[in-house]
């Protein structure tokens, strides 16, 4: 039996769960494997996304994973999350999958939405609005929303610099 490392984030998951489970070939097999990790994780209203993909896995999808690389998943009940990014006096918004990483949103905001040059863009990070929390670039958007809310607001701020 071939085992595969899986890292799972989701709206009901605290942090990131790691497991080593038999490599699934169908969505029902994947759902069953994840249910052994946490029965509350897989319910009828939850969709399973592969990290940084726009669409959830479907029943007819054939799962062909590279067993030498970990599988990074996100389980969520929302298909899309409305993301607003504030920068100076401007605001831009776009809908993303819950499996989208904060790093991908940051690249979109700096390069496409606000059209910063690459050097300037590298000096900015995303911070949750009205807070001091700066999620790591690997964090999935769906991990940051709570309850029925399916939206997030970030401020694009200068990263902290250490002078030495």
Domains of the chain: 3-76 (3.10.20.90), 81-158 (3.10.20.90)
Q: Give me 154's structure tokens.
A: 């970030």
pLDDT at 148 over 60: yes
Taking the alpha carbons of 120, 125, 128, 133 in that order, is the dihedral positive or negative?
negative
User: What predicted TM-score, i.e. pTM, was given to this entire model?
Assistant: 0.88
Residue with tokens 């993909």: 53
| Spatial distance between the Cα atoms of 40 and 37, rounded to a whole number of angstroms | 9
What are the tens digits of pLDDT across the range 45-85?
Answer: 889 999 999 999 998 887 877 878 899 999 999 999 999 99
pLDDT at 155 over 90: yes
What are the tens digits of pLDDT across the range 116-146?
Answer: 999 999 999 999 999 999 999 999 999 999 8
Confidence (pLDDT) at 36: 82
- Better-predicted residue by pLDDT, 58 or 2: 58
């Amino acid at each position: 039996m071939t085992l595969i490392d899986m890292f799972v984030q989701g709206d009901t998951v605290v942090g990131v769960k790691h497991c080593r489970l038999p490599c699934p070939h169908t969505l029902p097999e994947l759902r069953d494997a994840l249910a052994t990790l946490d029965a509350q994780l897989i319910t009828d209203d939850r969709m399973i996304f592969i990290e940084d993909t726009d669409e959830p896995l479907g029943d007819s999808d054939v799962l062909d994973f590279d067993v030498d690389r970990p599988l990074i998943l996100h389980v969520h009940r929302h298909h899309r999350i409305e993301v607003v990014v504030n920068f100076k006096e401007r605001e831009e918004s776009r809908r993303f999958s819950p499996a989208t990483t904060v790093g991908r949103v940051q690249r979109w905001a700096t390069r496409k939405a606000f059209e910063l040059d690459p050097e300037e863009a590298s000096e900015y990070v995303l911070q949750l609005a009205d807070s001091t929390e700066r999620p790591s670039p690997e964090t999935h958007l769906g991990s940051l929303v709570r309850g029925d809310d399916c939206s997030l607001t970030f401020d694009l701020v200068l990263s902290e610099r250490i002078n030495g």
